[in-house]
Amino acid sequence: MTAHSHPIEEAGDWIEWNGGECPVDPETLVDTCKRNGDKCYGFRAGVRIHVGCWDRAWRSRRTDIIAYRIVRP
């Protein structure tokens, strides 16, 4: 990823996220990309401290999730 590219423009099956309730079961393993570009890998979707904030509500926090993908075994 270059310094100017959008975090979800990397290759892969990232799903852009625009806020709302968590889109998957809280026990589902996910990777997430946060607004500040940080990524979290392989955590249960319900573990907010690791994956970030699903309830984005347009607060523009750096921990808001902007994209996610389901971890496939």
The reported pLDDT for the residue numbered 2 is: 38
* Residue 60 backbone phi and psi in degrees, to 5: 60, 40
Any idea where the domains of the chain sit in the sequence?
Answer: 7-70
Quick: pLDDT tens for 2-28. Answer: 343 444 445 468 999 888 888 999 999
User: Nearest Cα to 36, choosing from 69, 66, 4, 1?
Assistant: 66
Given the DSSP bridges, would you call strands 39-44 and 65-70 parallel, antiparallel or unpaired?
unpaired
The reported pLDDT for the residue numbered 59 is: 66
Quick: pLDDT tens for 22-63. Answer: 899 999 999 999 888 889 899 999 887 777 777 655 567 777
How many residues are there in the chain? 73
The reported pLDDT for the residue numbered 8 is: 47
The reported pLDDT for the residue numbered 46 is: 85
